[in-house]
Structure 1
Amino acid sequence: MRELIKIQQLSAEWITPEQFKPYGQVISASADDKLYNEEDAQLNLNNGIPRFYIMRVQQKGLKFHHITRHSQCTQCLGSLEGKDWFMAVCPPSKHDQPSLKDLVAFHIPGNCFIKLEVGTWHAGPYFTHETVDFYNLELIDTNLVDHFTHSFAKSHYLEFEIVESK
């Protein structure tokens, strides 16, 4: 008999560059005359043609059981119109599945964007607004040839619900 899927709450902390470092970078506004340095997005788009586009995402709740990674490029995401949002992440790994004990969620304000490191497992974006437009930088074929998904429902009979930390 198949076990029932259990819903586990995942508390989302407000993102900081230090907390997000194992997964990528947080990029915030800087002065126009600032020279390039390690605070700028360290991109890896060498394995294809970059694609920069705006995707409109409809609100789908804060629950998930799938998590994805891209092993050929970094990915940048940010919301337009200053809308806040959530992302769940696990650090890159050599394994076919993420480490359940390393799964965390972040609350991301609308005044910055994130760069996911190559191989970072991620679920989202999630949000409470009706719709959010996101800019997305990846490769033109990322979602066709570099999209590896793991199901926590199948492996652990788990679904996660992101909740805001108090």
Structure 2
Amino acid sequence: MRSKTILLIVIGLLVFSGCKSKKTATATPRTTVIEKEKIDEAQKSKAYEAGRRILMTCNTSKFKPFTTAEATPTVIKNTTQDRLTKTCLKFRLKYGDFRDIQLVEVIRNKSDKTNVYRFKALYEKKIANKELRVTMNDEDKVSGIKSLDWVDQY
């Protein structure tokens, strides 16, 4: 009798806890896509030049380091000739010579107030399906650079 009572209490608690109403998340999205007409042309040009300059290193083996007017100290520290050379060796063997980058979209990150420029990297070999993301802060400085495999969604 006692075990049946305990069993009924446990089942009742499980049913009661399962029926509790749940709060739904109403958080606003942290990122938005910027319409092409509203993209800052000066910043877009800086992002393009920075991205192209990095990937052209693969063809020329020469990299002109970023200045403090162009990039944040973290980007300057992490973007070295040695690091680029290692990455470029892999890319050249697999994809051939770098050709150009094409802007696909710009994403505004509301939380850190940056714009992420998504470029599709074009290489000699058609099998290349790479993306270069250049992040620009509100001071028009490169605050991040990332190369990854291309995916349609951000």
Normalised TM-score (structure 2): 0.28
Higher strand share: 1
Q: Larger relative CO (CA 8 A, sep 6+): 1 or 2?
A: 1
Rg larger in structure: 2
